[in-house]
């Protein structure tokens, strides 16, 4: 199955599959990026309680990182990964901490869901299994960001906070920033109860909720379009519509090629998004 569309290219190299965004490929001389595909890979490097995995599980994740990095001509040692705890915290990466291994499971990135840098040879990594991953790139200031925005992160507007961080720390102009939306759960499958629906209605009073929230017929359940929310709030922040580029892939609809918590339940795996300045 080929997931390529007008916004992305589906690539297969020596058994490793990934997508790349056509827009970012236009800047391939100064950035490198990929979003992994396949349920035979698993980029889980720690448990939810911050405990490390069994050695074989961790080694599996590192090997999957190596294979993906080899395909895109990046060095896996350059990896700097968030620990992802559904916060709105974004940190600037100024340098690699470990010299001979990836920066994974480091206290410096606890309680962090987004990373920003203007340094070369720092390969920012996030992981997901339904949550939205956002790749940001300012080709003028040469700044990148990699952000995990689950529904809680979306409620906290972490995508907007990322743009604010890029403006404050690197003097980026939102009109120059490109944001690419990786495969994630979509409105068709993001079903919630009234308590979560109410949270979204209360937070996004500045948005026409008819665009983003739909009640199911004869059922006290609602479907929410978190991708659309991020598109709207990023435009309000100054990004051009044409610079907000969606992969258009639902992780649940395509759970044969993309990890999905809702489809896999217990024991679900994780895909990764990578971005690096050359």
253 pLDDT more than 90: yes
Model confidence over 25-54: pLDDT tens digits? 999 999 999 999 999 999 999 876 666 678
Asked if residue 147 is part of any domain, the answer here is yes
My answer on whether 114 and 200 are in the same domain is no
Task: Give the neighbor-by-neighbor strand order of the sheet with 90-92.
Answer: 90-92, 114-117, 143-149, 132-138, 178-181, 244-246
- Which residue, chain included where needed, has tokens 């918590």? 261
My answer on whether 198 and 118 are in the same domain is no
Asked if residue 3 is part of any domain, the answer here is no
Asked if residue 201 is part of any domain, the answer here is yes
My answer on whether 90 and 198 are in the same domain is no
Domain count across the chain: 2
Asked if residue 40 is part of any domain, the answer here is yes
- Identify the domain containing residue 211 by its residue range: 191-224
- Which pLDDT belongs to residue 54? 83
My answer on whether 108 and 80 are in the same domain is yes
Asked if residue 1 is part of any domain, the answer here is no
The β-bridge partners of 277 are: 31, 120
Asked if residue 127 is part of any domain, the answer here is yes
My answer on whether 180 and 68 are in the same domain is yes
Asked if residue 272 is part of any domain, the answer here is yes
Q: How far is CA 4 from CA 25, 56, 231, 253, in A?
A: 14, 33, 21, 15
DSSP string across 225-238? -HHHHHHHHHHHTT
Q: What CATH number did the domain enclosing 48 receive?
A: 3.60.140.10
My answer on whether 70 and 197 are in the same domain is no
Q: Distance between CA 177 and CA 163 in Å, rounded?
A: 8
My answer on whether 146 and 60 are in the same domain is yes
DSSP string across 144-188? EEEEEE-HHHHHTTHHHHHHHHHHHHH---GGG-EEEE-SB--TT
Q: Is the pTM of this model over 0.85?
A: yes
Q: Distance between CA 170 and CA 163 in Å, rounded?
A: 10
- Which pLDDT belongs to residue 51? 67
My answer on whether 168 and 199 are in the same domain is no
- Which pLDDT belongs to residue 55? 86
Helix H or strand E encompassing 128: strand 123-128
Model confidence over 78-135: pLDDT tens digits? 999 999 999 999 999 999 999 999 999 999 999 999 999 999 999 999 999 999 999 9
My answer on whether 66 and 80 are in the same domain is yes
Asked if residue 2 is part of any domain, the answer here is no
My answer on whether 177 and 196 are in the same domain is no
- Choice between 53 and 269, residue whose per-residue pLDDT is larger: 269
My answer on whether 206 and 249 are in the same domain is no
147 pLDDT more than 80: yes
Model confidence over 213-226: pLDDT tens digits? 999 999 999 999 99
My answer on whether 99 and 178 are in the same domain is yes
């Amino acid at each position: 199955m080929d997931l390529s569309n007008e916004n992305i290219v589906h690539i297969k190299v020596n058994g490793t599959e990934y997508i790349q965004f056509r827009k970012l490929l236009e800047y391939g001389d100064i950035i490198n990026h990929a979003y992994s595909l396949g349920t035979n890979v698993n980029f889980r490097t720690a448990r939810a309680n911050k405990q490390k995995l069994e050695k074989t599980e961790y080694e599996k994740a590192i090997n999957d990182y190596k294979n993906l990095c080899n395909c895109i001509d990046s060095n896996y040692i350059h990896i700097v990964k968030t620990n992802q705890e559904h916060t709105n915290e974004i940190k600037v990466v100024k340098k690699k901490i470990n010299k001979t291994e990836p920066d994974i499971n480091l206290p410096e990135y606890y309680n962090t869901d987004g990373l920003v840098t203007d340094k070369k040879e720092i390969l920012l990594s996030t992981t997901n299994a339904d949550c939205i991953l956002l790749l940001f790139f300012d080709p003028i200031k040469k700044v990148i960001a990699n952000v995990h925005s689950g529904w809680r992160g979306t409620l906290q507007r972490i995508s907007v906070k990322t743009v604010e961080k890029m403006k404050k720390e690197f003097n980026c102009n939102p009109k120059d920033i490109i944001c690419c939306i990786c495969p994630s759960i979509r409105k068709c499958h993001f079903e919630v109860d009234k308590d979560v629906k109410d949270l979204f209605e209360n937070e996004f009073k500045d948005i026409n909720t008819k665009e983003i929230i739909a009640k199911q017929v004869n059922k006290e359940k609602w479907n929410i379009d978190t991708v659309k929310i991020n598109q709207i709030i990023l435009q309000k922040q100054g990004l051009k519509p044409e610079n907000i580029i969606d992969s258009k892939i639902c992780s649940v609809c395509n759970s044969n090629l993309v990890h999905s918590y809702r489809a896999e339940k217990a024991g679900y795996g994780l895909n990764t998004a990578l971005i690096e300045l050359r």
